[in-house]
Amino acid sequence: MIKATRGARPIEDSTVSKWLDTHQFKDIDLDKYADTWRNWLTFTNMKSINGLENFPFVDYTQGTSQTFDNFVLKHNRHRQINWLVGDFQYHRCISKFAEYREITTIHPDFMYGKDMHALIISAPFSDYGCMHPDFEILMDICMDFNIPVCLDLAYWGIAKNVHLDLDKYPCIKEVTCSLSKPFHTLENHRVGVRFTRDYADDGISMLNEVDMQNKYSMSLGVHYMKNFSPDYMWEKYGDTHYTVCTELDIFVTDTVIFGISQDDKDKEFNRGIDNNNRICISQYLKHRIRYDS
């Protein structure tokens, strides 16, 4: 039975899934891994990211979550870590063990105080499937109060209409991404990357410096990024996304696996933001099925 889900599951695309069988392990060094990521992130007609060249330090990570863990460890002693309601639920899990705050209302003084806060935010924003409407306001606040930002690009490979100028906001100190969402089968291989403006000097950098990365995952990541662009999912499933959302009577988003419902009947999908029920439609896209609501 085809049904919508609450999580964020990749589309089980047969071409992508079968690509795993063509992989032959090759020992990948960090420089090649980093260059492949830089090329993949910018090889797109549907979105853009400028200023990544000013993040010279690049590390392999176990998905994006390892980046978040180290960001929290780095700043938690002297700063309050902030995340927005509706963002990646992993933050709620680890917030129990750190000085972590879920922000439910955006106002000018919600992170008032210089050198007192840090922020993690996804782009596109996890709960909306598009850029957070207050993203630029948030970045301006972070600039004013010297708030370091970790930018989560986990949905880059399934998104469109995301345009980021990292040079505009030096407060963005770290950028992280993974291949779990665009490429089914890779969610279990934890293929991630972290770009930093400055040398991080933490557990991630140490493991990379002593060459203790997951080389198989690095090899897999390069294998996929060399053959599928970050626009692949929208190019293949874009029309179906609009059809499915229309038939389910939900709003389209800029993230191909998500639609938004404002109907009370879908409140089981709510993740904290009022009147915003994010629905994962990956299974509908997989089967290219018409659903009569």
pLDDT tier, 290 (very low <50, low <70, confident <90, very high otherwise): very low
Give residue 289's pLDDT: 41
Residues 162 and 181: their CA atoms lie apart, in Å, by: 16
Sign of CA dihedral 257, 65, 58, 52: positive
Q: What letter would DSSP give residue 211?
A: T
Phi-psi region of 185 (alpha: psi -120 to 50; beta: other; left: phi over 0): left
* Pick from 193, 151, 185, 182: nearest CA to 62: 193
Domains in the chain, number: 1
Give residue 1's pLDDT: 61
pLDDT tier, 259 (very low <50, low <70, confident <90, very high otherwise): very high
Type and span of the H or E element at 281: none
266 within domain boundaries: no
Neighbours of 36 (CB within 10 A): 19
For the cut 90, the answer to whether the pLDDT of residue 293 exceeds it is no
| SS3 labels along 28-93 | CCHHHHHHHHHHHHHCCCCCEEECHHHCCEEEEECCCHHHHHHHHHHHCCCCEEEEECCCCCHHHH
4 within domain boundaries: no
pLDDT tier, 31 (very low <50, low <70, confident <90, very high otherwise): very high
Average pLDDT over residues 44-68: 97
In the predicted model, what is the mean pLDDT of the chain? Answer: 92
Read off the tokens for 97. 């063990």
Cβ–Cβ < 8 Å for 81, 75: yes
pLDDT digits (tens, 9 = 90+) for 57-88: 999 999 999 999 999 999 998 999 999 999 99
Count the residues in the chain: 293
33 within domain boundaries: yes
268 within domain boundaries: no
CATH code: domain of residue 55: 3.40.640.10
Give residue 26's pLDDT: 86
290 within domain boundaries: no
CA dihedral 97, 98, 99, 104 (to 10 degrees): -70
The answer to which of 47-56, 91-100, 206-215 has the lowest mean pLDDT is 91-100
91 within domain boundaries: yes
Percent of the chain with pLDDT over 70: 97
- Asked if the bond preceding 124 is cis, omega within 30° of 0, the reply is yes
41 within domain boundaries: yes
pTM more than 0.75: yes
3-state secondary structure of 130: strand
* Structural domain that includes position 206: 25-225
Give residue 91's pLDDT: 87
Read off the tokens for 107. 């106002």
pLDDT tier, 213 (very low <50, low <70, confident <90, very high otherwise): very high
257 within domain boundaries: no
pLDDT tier, 108 (very low <50, low <70, confident <90, very high otherwise): low
* Pick from 152, 165, 158, 197: nearest CA to 61: 152
Average pLDDT over residues 268-289: 89
